[in-house]
């Protein structure tokens, strides 16, 4: 178990260097502000780590936009704040170039593409909703329903303040299962924009079926898509290329994001 805890900690401590630059057309000062560099946790959400970014750039936009909601963009693609940062990077960045170059906006919020996020309370509500959805798949929502309010706060504050021990003191309860049965279903989302216009695919997959421990390959087969048709591919989470023979139960226990979902990206080699 100590070794497993080290894996959990390694995943928790994953970071990405990001370079934030204010959109040129929004600069209102004679000299454009310097870019702002930040190391951000892969597991968290942008609204939880960008207060400093906002303070750095807001003085350089026209005063009437100071209270506008800030949003981020990568190569003309608005970033969904309700996706974990590591997922956004794995999904959108094909050349692994670092630091990740993002554009900051205070104007023309793309309401048709992004949910509004006026405060961190909205992120907390999103996290709790996702945890309940994941627990419904794993335990018929029994664990979240039995947890006390202080446990829910431990999960939120642990993520908000980047405290591994605080988060996992509560999250370990959500990972409990019997050795023979594993989780009822594996909470996952499969991102394959090459195959579908939907944001992600989601379907019911057990961890153990007919006494056989199911693998990542089993999960992919149930998508009924010929992933190999577009060439060699990887299944990536936290920047890791997962071997297809890895057991789903192990992946779910050790590599789930704080929302308790596996966010799996299908990636093809750049030509």
pLDDT in tens, 204-244: 999 999 889 999 999 999 998 889 888 999 999 999 999 99
Instruction: Give the residue-averaged pLDDT of 11-40.
Output: 97
Angle CA 263–187–80, to nearest 5:
40
CA-closest candidate to residue 120, choices 151, 91, 161: 161
CA 84, distance to chain mean position in Å, is 2
Using CA atoms, how far apart are residues 103 and 26, in angstroms rounded to an integer? 11
Which structural domains are found in the chain, ordered by start? 13-105 (3.10.20.620), 120-175 (1.10.246.190), 188-268 (3.10.20.90)
Q: Which two tokens stand for residue 95?
A: 């050349």
Which pTM does this prediction carry?
0.95
Q: Which two tokens stand for residue 99?
A: 């630091």
Tell me the pLDDT of the chain averaged across its residues. 94
Using CA atoms, how far apart are residues 80 and 112, in angstroms rounded to an integer? 11
Per-residue pLDDT tens over the stretch 85-95: 999 999 999 88
Using CA atoms, how far apart are residues 38 and 44, in angstroms rounded to an integer? 13
What contacts 155, CB < 8 A, 6 or more positions away? 127, 128, 131, 167, 170, 171, 258
61: DSSP letter: S
Q: Which two tokens stand for residue 23?
A: 């959109």
Using CA atoms, how far apart are residues 68 and 64, in angstroms rounded to an integer? 8
CA distances from 63 to 28, 106, 151, 203 (A): 9, 11, 41, 47
- If pLDDT is split at 50, 70 and 90, which confidence band does 161 have? very high
């Amino acid at each position: 178990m100590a070794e497993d805890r080290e894996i959990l900690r390694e995943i928790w401590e994953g970071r990405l260097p990001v370079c934030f630059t204010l959109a040129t057309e929004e600069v209102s000062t004679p000299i454009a502000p310097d870019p702002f560099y930040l190391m951000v946790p892969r597991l968290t959400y942008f609204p939880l780590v960008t207060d400093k970014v906002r303070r750095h750039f807001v003085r350089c936009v026209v005063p009437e936009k100071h209270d506008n909601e800030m949003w981020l963009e990568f190569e003309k693609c608005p970033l969904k704040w309700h996706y974990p940062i590591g997922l956004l990077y794995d999904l959108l960045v094909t050349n692994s170039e670092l630091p990740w170059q993002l554009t900051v906006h205070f104007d023309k919020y793309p309401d048709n593409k992004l949910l509004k996020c006026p405060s961190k309370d909205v992120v907390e509500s999103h996290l709790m909703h996702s945890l309940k959805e994941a627990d419904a798949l794993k335990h018929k929502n029994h664990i979240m329903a039995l947890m006390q309010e202080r446990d829910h706060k431990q999960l939120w504050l642990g993520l908000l303040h980047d405290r591994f021990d605080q988060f996992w003191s509560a999250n370990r309860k959500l990972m409990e299962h019997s050795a023979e049965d594993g989780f009822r279903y594996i909470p996952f989302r499969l991102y394959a924009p090459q195959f579908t216009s939907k944001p992600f695919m989601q379907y019911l997959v057990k961890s153990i079926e007919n006494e056989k421990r199911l693998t990542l390959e089993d999960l992919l087969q149930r998508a009924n898509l010929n992933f190999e048709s577009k060439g060699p591919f990887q299944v990536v989470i936290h920047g890791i290329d997962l071997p297809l023979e890895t057991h789903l139960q192990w992946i779910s226990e050790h590599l789930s994001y704080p929302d308790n979902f596996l966010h799996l990206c299908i990636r093809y080699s750049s030509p």
